[in-house]
Amino acid sequence: MRADWDLRARENARFYVCTTDAGSAEAFDASGERDLAAHVLDGLDVPSGWRVLEIGCGVGRLIRPLAPRVARVVGVDVSPEMLDRARDSCRNLPNVELRQTDGGLEFLPDAGFDFVFSHIVFQHLPRKTYAERYFREAFRVLAPGGIFRVQVDGRSRQFFRRSIADSWSGVVFSGPELRRRLERIGFRVIEIRGEGTQYLRATAIKPG
């Protein structure tokens, strides 16, 4: 996955992060503002003291508009090439930290975050075991009462992608399966939306 995403970053990072709004830097930045409001923070009260983790931060498209609203943002990504671009775009944001991950978050402390999210990232994971590893790590790093919001590809009728896929067209989940996997870890799922679509999303709480 790392090699695939490094190559995509070198070819056209904006396109592979957000295919619909990659034509100009202005459109790309506007898409980050829009997606943050419509898909990441919608329906949530966002305290200024929140400590936030983004899984799959790419070039920092969502971190840039998020950072001024919260106390701290950590972004992780598998691709050093994406992170190089994120460091450049976030260089004037002192409350942002960017780290490379190999699929785990062991370098982050237990209960260190109030909100963990991932948007248009898990839809590219080629194995469900990779997704579940992140689910477990999100549970660990969240403080009691913390919120996990994650989007996956919900087009579960694409049977050939249910177990094994690639690093672009990743595995697919049904709504009930996503709920079961999160609840098995210990989350309390409070919302599932977008069932049957590419934008299946769960919002879950780590019990306090």
pTM: 0.95
pLDDT value, residue 103: 87
Of residues 166 and 93, more confidence is placed in 93
pLDDT of residue 56: 98
Ordered by start, the domain boundaries in the chain are 2-205
- For residue 35, name the pLDDT band (cuts at 50, 70, 90): very high
CATH class of the structural domain 2-205: alpha beta
Residue 143 has pLDDT above 80, yes or no: yes
Give tens-digit pLDDT for 91-142: 999 999 999 999 899 999 999 999 999 999 999 999 999 999 999 999 999 9
Give the pLDDT score at 131.
96
159 pLDDT tier (thresholds 50, 70, 90)? confident
One DSSP character per residue, the chain reads -HHHHHHHHHHHHHHHH-GGG-SSHHHHHHHHHHHIIIIISTT----TT-EEEEES-TTTTTHHHHGGGSSEEEEEES-HHHHHHHHHHTTT-TTEEEEE-SS--TTS-TT-EEEEEESSSGGG-SBHHHHHHHHHHHHHHEEEEEEEEEEEB--TT-GGGSSB--SSS--B--HHHHHHHHHHHT-EEEEEE-TTSTTEEEEEE---
Confidence of residue 21 (pLDDT cuts 50, 70, 90): confident
